[in-house]
């Protein structure tokens, strides 16, 4: 057995292997409600051979969505649509399903499809909020700084969305604390210039993310794992450091979180991301794993099966996650496990495409 194909326990949830499908924005919701496209997309990922599939960043409030076209989980209709989605996928796949809950903060109200522009009010845009009155870049709206009452409402919104996710049948919840969205912006001294108990020291900047994590942990059944995507670095001077990220991860572990997914960037338009070579973020996950003792998921330019195997076999990270590689090749996990000498289970309607049946397999995958 390869290391990549070995099972992993997150709490009491058993993942059949160490390959996860990352949350990927689809910008295809209507009023935050999942559409048939979401069932097609997540259903395809759920029969890919991955050990875990996590649905896209889902807003806990209308203003917390990244764009007017993103999923939400704050109404009964949104919950019902996701309940149907999970049930439909469960008809054919037992792959564990997670959902990423988030609030986009000062990066909210984007046009979508990575246009890089804010959505104007005439197309459903709204004023974003954040820790301080600093826009993500000069041509974006100035966010409204959150007051204590606003913060209380957002904490409750995360709790409510987590309960809805539980009722909908998701096996796991991931909180979005990276990429400059709300929790990430509170963590980063680049975006957070507050002088109250939520700003200044690392202890203060961690206060909101930890409070939300603890509240969600208490709202979820204990058998359902909770994780958070975090930044290992902001790629900008005076941003969050890898040491601070490790302290945050250890605090999340103490609260009862089961893993962190380690990414980077997104808090400053002035960021300087090093050349994005394959696996360019693995070291962040490795350092945080060592310093905090929490399980880690590493993301970013993981492209080859042996590369993924090496990451897990050297204990650089407990899991690897792919996104665009899975869009390019929706059976990437199956092909990776086959290349590493495993025999993944194909869905019955697809069994004839497996390497032991289809004589063309070795020619298609000869490289």
Beta pairing class for 8-10 and 13-15: antiparallel
* pLDDT on residue 1: 82
Total Cβ atoms within 10 A of residue 140: 18
Q: What is the DSSP-derived secondary structure letter of residue 105? A: G
What was the pLDDT predicted at 367? 63
Q: Is the pLDDT of residue 275 over 80?
A: no
Residues listed for the chain: 367
Which whole number is the average pLDDT over 87-99? Answer: 97
The structure tokens 């993301």 sit at 299
Going by their DSSP bridges, the two strands 144-145 and 13-15 should be labelled as unpaired
Can you tell me the distance from the alpha carbon of 291 to that of 130, in angstroms, rounded to the nearest whole number? Answer: 29
Query: How confident is the model over 277-293, as pLDDT tens digits?
Result: 999 999 999 999 999 99
Does residue 56 have a pLDDT over 90?
yes
CB atoms near residue 202 (< 10 Å): 16
Domains of the chain listed by start with CATH number? 8-364 (3.20.20.70)
pLDDT of residue 54: 99
Q: What are the two backbone dihedrals, phi and then psi, of residue 345, each rounded to the nearest 5 degrees?
A: -85, 120
CB 230 within 8 A of CB 294: no
* Each residue's pLDDT tens digit, 211-250: 999 999 999 999 999 999 999 999 999 999 999 999 999 9
Catalytic residues: 181
- Of 163, 251, 130, which Cα lies nearest the Cα of 202? 251
Q: What is the tens place of the pLDDT at every residue in 178-221?
A: 999 999 999 999 999 999 999 999 999 999 999 999 999 999 99
Three-state SS for 58? strand
| pLDDT tens profile 314-343 | 999 999 999 999 999 999 999 999 999 999
What region, left, alpha or beta, does residue 304 occupy, with left being phi > 0 and alpha being psi -120 to 50 degrees?
A: beta
**Percent of the chain whose predicted confidence (pLDDT) is above 90:** 93
Cα gap 132→147, rounded to integer Å: 10
Residues 6+ apart with CB under 8 A from 322: 19, 20, 21, 22, 299, 302, 332, 333
Give pLDDT tens digits for 20-36. Answer: 999 999 999 999 999 99
- Retrieve residue 154's tokens: 């957002």
The rounded distance, in Å, linking the Cα atoms of 200 and 193 is 7
* 68, pLDDT greater than 70: yes
DSSP states of 286-325: HHHHHHH--EEEE-SS---HHHHHHHHHTTS-SEEEESHH
Residues 41, 26: Cα–Cα separation, whole Å: 9
Instruction: Return d(Cα 361, Cα 353) in angstroms, integer.
Output: 7
**Among residues 12, 97, 76, 16, which one has the least CA distance to residue 49?**
16
pLDDT level of residue 89 (50, 70, 90 thresholds): very high
């Amino acid at each position: 057995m390869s290391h990549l194909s070995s099972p992993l326990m997150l709490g009491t949830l058993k993942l059949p292997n160490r390959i996860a499908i990352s949350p990927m924005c689809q910008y295809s919701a209507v009023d935050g409600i999942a559409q048939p496209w979401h069932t097609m997309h997540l259903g395809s990922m759920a029969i890919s051979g991955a050990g875990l599939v996590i649905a896209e960043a889902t807003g806990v409030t209308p203003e917390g969505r990244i764009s007017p076209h993103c999923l939400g989980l704050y109404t009964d209709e949104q919950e019902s649509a996701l309940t149907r989605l999970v049930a439909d996928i469960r008809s054919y796949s037992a792959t564990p399903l997670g959902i990423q809950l988030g609030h986009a903060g000062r990066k909210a109200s984007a046009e979508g499809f990575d246009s890089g522009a804010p959505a104007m009010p005439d197309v459903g845009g709204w004023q974003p909020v954040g820790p301080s009155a600093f826009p993500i870049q000069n041509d974006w709206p100035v966010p409204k700084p959150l007051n204590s009452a606003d913060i209380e409402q957002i904490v409750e919104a995360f709790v409510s969305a987590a309960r809805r996710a539980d009722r909908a049948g998701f096996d796991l919840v991931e909180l979005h604390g990276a990429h400059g969205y709300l929790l990430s912006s509170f963590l980063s001294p680049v975006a957070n210039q507050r002088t109250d108990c939520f700003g200044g020291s690392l202890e203060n900047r961690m206060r909101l993310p930890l409070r939300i994590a603890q509240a969600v942990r208490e709202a979820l059944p204990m058998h359902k794992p909770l994780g958070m995507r975090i930044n290992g670095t902001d790629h900008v001077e005076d941003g969050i450091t890898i040491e601070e990220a490790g302290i945050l991860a250890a605090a999340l572990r103490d609260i009862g979180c089961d893993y962190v997914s380690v990414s980077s960037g997104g808090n400053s338009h002035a960021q300087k991301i090093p050349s994005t070579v394959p696996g360019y973020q693995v070291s962040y996950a490795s350092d945080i794993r060592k310093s905090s003792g929490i399980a880690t998921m590493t993301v970013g330019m993981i492209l080859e099966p042996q590369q993924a195997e090496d990451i897990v076999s050297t204990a650089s990270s407990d899991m690897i996650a792919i996104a665009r590689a899975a869009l390019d090749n929706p059976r990437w996990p199956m092909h990776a496990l086959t290349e590493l000498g495993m025999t993944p289970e194909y869905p019955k309607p697809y069994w004839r495409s497996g390497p032991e049946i289809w004589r063309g397999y070795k020619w298609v995958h000869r490289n």
